[in-house]
């Protein structure tokens, strides 16, 4: 088995618009050792979300190679990408994307159910994860009945339900006030520790940026040690 979860070599992303070619990622390299937590910062528009989306199979590269576990992302077909996203990945975004007509428990349970897990086991795991983020008394609340911080904690729990190898978090605390941001950020890092997850987190939050095992700044299309 590899000792790394992610290995990116010579990654390129060029957006071609009518007037110009925008070179956003320029032969970017990154190796993430298994079980480590990597934090990426960088100016708005430098390509952080683009990078995470390519790793997550939500966007495609225009050059280079991305290997995550046994998956070579850059050459996967659509159905293989779906399998990769469901089995290997957990996602957390700035906006929670919870299903509005489903309770917190159902929202966390859903990805496991979709992946074919047994109902009872999936519900038990969802309950445990919601307890892990301090929401054991909010299981049956709808997203509209939760605070912003609580919704983001549900999103953290949901990202872990399928026991992913890799968790990708794009500005997970970006919509929260400083106190809630610290709270959600700390929970995410401590759960990644407890469940031995590899984490790649993009943030503008200076406090959160110091919580990882290594920190990079995305600048001029490449990652430099921050
Ligand atoms: N479909 C597209 N066509 C052309 N340019 C695009 C497209 N999508 C993104 N871009 C450009 O690529 C650059 C990188 O975008 P990206 O969303 O990755 O930035 P970011 O670092 O995540 O910024 P932020 O911190 O504001 O979230 C931006 O300058 C954006 O304008
Ligand atoms: Mg972004």
In the chain the first and final C-alpha atoms are separated, in Å, by 29
Write out residues with Cβ below 6 Å of ligand 1: 15, 17, 22, 24, 42, 44-50
DSSP β-bridge partners for residue 83 = none
Q: What is the mean pLDDT of each run of 10 residues along the chain (226 residues)?
A: 90 95 97 97 97 96 97 93 94 94 98 94 98 97 97 97 97 94 94 96 92 96 96
Encode pLDDT of 12-29 as tens digits. 999 999 999 999 999 999
Cα–Cα distance, 12 to 148 (Å, whole number): 35
Nearest CA to ligand 1 atom 18: 47
**Interatomic CA distance for residues 84 and 142, integer angstroms:** 29
Q: Report the separation in Å between the CA atom of 22 and the middle of ligand 1, taken as the mean of its atom positions.
A: 10
Global pTM reads 0.96
What is the best residue among 21, 50, 169, 219 to mutate for testing ligand 1's pocket, by most ligand atoms within 8 Å of CB?
A: 50
Alpha-carbon span 138 to 154, nearest angstrom? 10
For ligand 1, what atom is nearest to the CA of residue 13?
12
Alpha-carbon 77 to chain mean position? 21
Q: How many residues does the chain have?
A: 226
**Angle between helix 148-160 and 104-114 (nearest 10):** 20
Q: Are 205 and 152 in contact (CB under 8 A)?
A: no
For helices 104-114 and 119-132, angle between their N-to-C axes, nearest 10 degrees: 130
CATH of 34-60+77-225, one of 3.40.50.300, 3.30.479.10, 1.10.10.10, 3.40.640.10: 3.40.50.300
Q: Give the model confidence (pLDDT) of 27-75 as tens digits.
A: 999 999 999 999 999 999 999 999 999 999 999 999 999 999 999 998 9
């Amino acid at each position: 088995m590899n000792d790394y979860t992610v290995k990116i070599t010579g990654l390129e992303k060029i957006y071609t618009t009518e007037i110009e070619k925008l070179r956003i990622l320029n032969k970017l390299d990154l190796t993430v050792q298994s079980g480590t937590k990597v934090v990426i910062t960088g100016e708005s528009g430098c390509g952080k979300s683009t990078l995470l989306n390519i790793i997550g199979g939500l966007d495609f590269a225009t050059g280079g190679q991305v290997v995550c576990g046994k998956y070579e992302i850059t050459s996967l077909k659509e159905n293989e990408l779906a399998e990769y996203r469901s089995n290997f990945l957990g996602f957390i975004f700035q906006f929670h994307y919870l299903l509005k007509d489903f309770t917190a428990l159902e929202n966390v349970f859903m990805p496991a159910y979709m992946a074919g897990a047994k109902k009872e086991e999936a519900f038990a795991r969802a309950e445990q994860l919601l307890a892990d983020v301090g929401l054991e008394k909010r299981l049956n609340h709808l997203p509209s009945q939760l605070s912003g911080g609580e919704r983001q904690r549900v999103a953290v729990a949901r990202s872990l339900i399928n026991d992913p190898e890799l968790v990708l978090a794009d500005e997970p605390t970006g919509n929260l006030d400083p106190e809630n941001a610290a709270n959600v950020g700390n929970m995410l890092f401590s759960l990644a520790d407890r469940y031995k997850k590899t984490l790649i987190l993009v943030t503008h939050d200076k406090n959160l940026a110091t919580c990882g095992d290594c920190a990079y700044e995305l600048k001029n299309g490449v990652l430099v040690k921050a």
